[in-house]
Amino acid sequence: MKIGIDAGGTLVKVAYRGSDNIGYQTFPSQDIDDAVSWLYDTFENPTVCITGGKSQLLAEKLMAPAKTLVEFDATNRGIQFLAGQQRHSFENNFMFVNVGTGTSIHHVNEGEQQRIGGSGIGGGTLMGLAYLLTGVEDYARMVKLASNGDRGNVDLKVKDIFEGALPPISGDLTASNFGKKESMLAYNPSASDILASIIGMIGEVIVTISSQMAAQYNVGSIVYIGSSFLSNPLLRDIIEEYTKLAGKEPVFLEKGEYCGALGSLLSLD
């Protein structure tokens, strides 16, 4: 059995070949020992390839030597595979943005990837700010609450500044994340409102950086992947909307959070 593992800062993602398809499994990185136990309880003498920031830590826990692969190359290979399966057609020149614990931005030209930038804003930011501002620690509860939130109770929009006058840009754009202080004083925002605004800020920052780099590299399509999109339609919707406003085509791959693990698996073929 061949196994590809992406041992990241937040999640350990596994891709493996089943009888007639590819199977996937995820573990919190803090439970890396559980991932190892599952691996050997499920498969006999597996051949393993590992990528990701915690690949060395994971490799030391395995019973046999494992192949390792540079994370960015593994991710690019997984993207190309999934894009082909899901019939997404990019030009030979595109970008991918991996929104995991942080965000990493890559330019792909003629199949070869190059990391061109990134940001400390990502899923780790959501987890940390959500805890600090609302006390919510569980990711699933976080995104569920955010789906019912009203960012208008926290974020200052362009139309709020122009107060009825016709603004030169869309009035629904965010003028200042968490900038609606007067409203906060009059109406205590709920945890849902705050969480929705955190996700909104993260999405807008990621698109701002990514779209500027896409313009610099003359890229039309931006592929967004990463564990931060897991069960998080609000983040996806915000990134999709703002990417289109920037004149670029957003692409989301099903199982995109497993691209690193998938690329590692494919390297064993």
**Model confidence over 145-195: pLDDT tens digits?**
999 999 999 999 998 888 777 788 787 899 999 999 988 888 899 999 999
The residues near 63 (Cβ < 8 Å, ≥ 6 apart) are 40
Which of 38-47, 83-92, 134-143 shows the lowest per-residue confidence on average (mean pLDDT)?
Answer: 83-92
**Model confidence over 111-158: pLDDT tens digits?**
899 999 999 999 999 999 999 999 999 999 999 999 999 999 999 999
- Short-list 159, 77, 75, CA closest to 111: 77
Q: What is the mean pLDDT of the chain?
A: 93
User: What is the per-residue pLDDT for 88?
Assistant: 86
Mean pLDDT of 35-46: 93
User: What is the per-residue pLDDT for 91?
Assistant: 72
Catalytic residue among 71, 204, 240, 257: 71
Which amino acid appears at position 89 of this protein?
Answer: S
- Short-list 213, 194, 200, 212, CA closest to 240: 200
Domains of the chain: residue spans and CATH: 1-86+254-269 (3.30.420.40), 89-252 (3.30.420.40)
Exposed (0-12), middle (13-18) or buried (19+): which is 25, by Cβ within 10 Å?
middle
pLDDT band for position 210 (cuts 50, 70, 90): very high
Concerning whether 71 is annotated as a catalytic residue, the answer is: yes
Which of 19-23, 113-117, 218-222 shows the lowest per-residue confidence on average (mean pLDDT)?
Answer: 19-23
pLDDT band for position 211 (cuts 50, 70, 90): very high
In angstroms, rounded to a whole number, what is the distance separating the alpha carbons of residues 169 and 173? Answer: 8
- Short-list 69, 72, 85, CA closest to 267: 69
Q: CA 32 → CA 53, 78, 163, distances in Å?
A: 13, 22, 53
Mean pLDDT of 87-106: 91
